[in-house]
Chains A and B, each alone.
Chain A
Amino acid sequence: MHRLTSILPLTLLLLLCYTATKGQTCTYTISGELKDRGSNTPLPYATVYIQETQSGTVADSLGQFTIPGVCAGDYHLKFSHIGCDTENYFLQLTADTILVVFMAHHTELLNETIIHGKREDNVTSVSNTIGRRDIVTQSSKSLAGVLENIAGVSVLKNGSGISKPVVHGLYGNRIAILNNGIAQAGQQWGNDHAPEIDPFAADHISVVKGAAALAYGANALGSVVLVEMDNIQSDPHLHGEINYLFQLNGLGSVLNARCEKAAKWASWRMSATLNARGDLKSPHYYLTNTGKREANVSAQLEKKIGEKINTKLYYSLFTTETGILRGSHIGNLTDLENAINRSIPFFTRNSFSYGIEAPRQTVQHHLLKAEVNRLLKEGNTLQFIYGGQLNNRKEFDVRRSGRENIPALSLLQQSHYAEGIYKTIFGTNLLLKSGIQFNYTDNSNNPETGVLPLIPDYRAYSAAWFVILQKEFKKLSYEFGARYSLRQLNAVTISTTLPRKIERFYHLFHNYTLSGAVKYLPAANHKITLDAGYMLRPPEVNELYSAGLHQGVSGIEEGNRNLQEEKSVKILLADDFSVNNKLFVQALTYYQFIRNFIYLQPLQEYRLTIRGAFPLFVYRQTDATLWGADLMVTYKPTDRLKFQLKYAIVRGRNAAQHIPLVNMPADNLFASAMYAFPDVGRSKNNTISFNGRYVWKQTRLLPEQDFLPPPNSYFLLGATAGTQLGFKESELHLTLSAENILNTVYRDYLNRQRYFANEPGIAIELKAGYIF
């Protein structure tokens, strides 16, 4: 009986709807204009298609379209154009409707601001964004691998499975990675610790290169990587996508499913990714033990409470098991020298395997985020965010007597973050954004390892306050920001001498950040941004307290308790312009000076242990300068043809000692050419493209700064062919791509594996994506 009463009104409602639709006259008109998001200019000849009626029209030369005689009802509109992602729009038609649809056509002109439509956020920031479709087509790569497509971003690797982004020469502790607005709180200090983020869950991945990112907190010295999800579309139907990818090199498979729906009780989105591959193959041999497993899930809920309150809940779990090249595991310096002199790494098997043995890493990372936005009077808003993270990292080494399944490093880190932000607009166009942030991190070593910990147990607290002012005046936009944070660190160390003693240390750091930016728009197709910032970064726990043998670098690392904050000044000038909507140029140059730059200094002395003598590395401070330039040029002579060129250089100097900085990316050039064929029947966006990447040899390094001189320059050739098949309510995307087509033998300076083995050879991938 209960059941019946609950079903009855629903049935009635449905019937009512049905009769209402049936009784309606079909006289409504859907009209509108299509514009290019990047240039804000009309986009001619795009296709408008109504799924329900299976009819549509083509916009005119001014981007205008009109569809007359449409009945009242719910419709899914699709807007498509050569070289753009299809835009979907859900419309409840109850009257004549005029739409302005922005399409991401000239993506090279897009920045974060426009994509998110949040005018107030980073109106002056210099950033580059990678969209959903590009993320999906590169999903066999890690987060850093996807980011490498942005000029100025390089990748620091430990073999093929572990990679982290390098932006303008800085990485690790010095750049912040924000997953859905929360600073990633894993073990970012380790060069062999990749950020624990599934790029597949993201809709946009951006790099904010300027100093204007201070609101993101963390302890970045400039650049910030943002991994972001879109709001869930207000479409009451179930939509989603299923992607499958097959990699020939490593016989890997990636499966991802994602769906979302704006249900009555709340809007929700779920995403899950499974990724497994075995040993990769370099041109002449297998890279034994370089397999990888990954399983990730995420869920997002959005609910509007009344007119004024918007709530969001997000949870994600990232789990991975990554093998590390067996031949790169060494015992001491003699082993390293032997390994360097090998043509094929030790322990190389001449057969493929999915197996993962020691050395390997396993990581689980949980993120829970809750967000409440409240709209106040006069357009003011108040926002609360909580972000909790739990990171469980275990690293397994080759050990004696069955201890390979006992981790040699086992860390559990939890962190809690709370933030409150208030936004208000004074007068017509002065925006003020101010917030308070608290963060608590607790890091514990699990004594199961039977090894003295490299990083001590610690707790860190920080509290911060920031304010950002933004003003637009005619062709100028200004932004000023200030941030103060207090960071407290309590470290509990175990002495390296006998008897083992527990010692407690306490640090307190005051940090200030100041930033300013001016954007000048001399014309609609021209933008000049000048951005400057002064930032302090407190030393991280690894820099203060590392103690022990770091087998990864064949050295003994010692922290330095007396380190001071790094003080950095960064100035960045960006110039974006286009000529006749055919040529698009983004040029950027920057200079950064870092006082008290923290680095690992190899000492002249060797430390004698029972494993032999090891070089001793101590954290020291110096003054460093970094400068560089990023350039991206796109030329589209016609809508069907697109040429692109990206070029980046970075120079880093230890200014006090007049020597180069280590781990600076070499100069690199990327060029691509793409042709879009005319649509054939169901198949649209038929494209073929070729690309080449040239990486110069890193010549700015002294022989005594490394065990081995940097590897030679290399050129890699790639190609991609893709099509999109359109069906009534869905689309099928097919892509075939190949990297390193020439099977080039090469090594990369920023990959630690370069001491031991070549990079992977030819990699062919087939991707299929079904979108509904």
Chain B
Amino acid sequence: MTLAFGVRQAVPAQPMPVDMAAIRFDPDRQINMISAKGVPVPALRHSTGRTSTSTVTQDNKGGADADQDQTED
């Protein structure tokens, strides 16, 4: 099958600056926490706020239909 023109423009994604596996959702605080020298701190502030907040094409991800169909994710 022919590769779509758009797919041919793809480049390898840059690795995230933060290990998302180290982040844990705290249901009491309702935010994500990360361990800094054994002390849990909000993940957003600890990571200079860049975690996934600026990640490449995140802009067009999710949104209205994320729970309706995945085609517009």
The judgment on whether A and B are partners is no
Chain B interface (Cβ within 8 Å of chain A)? Answer: none
Chain A interface (Cβ within 8 Å of chain B)? Answer: none
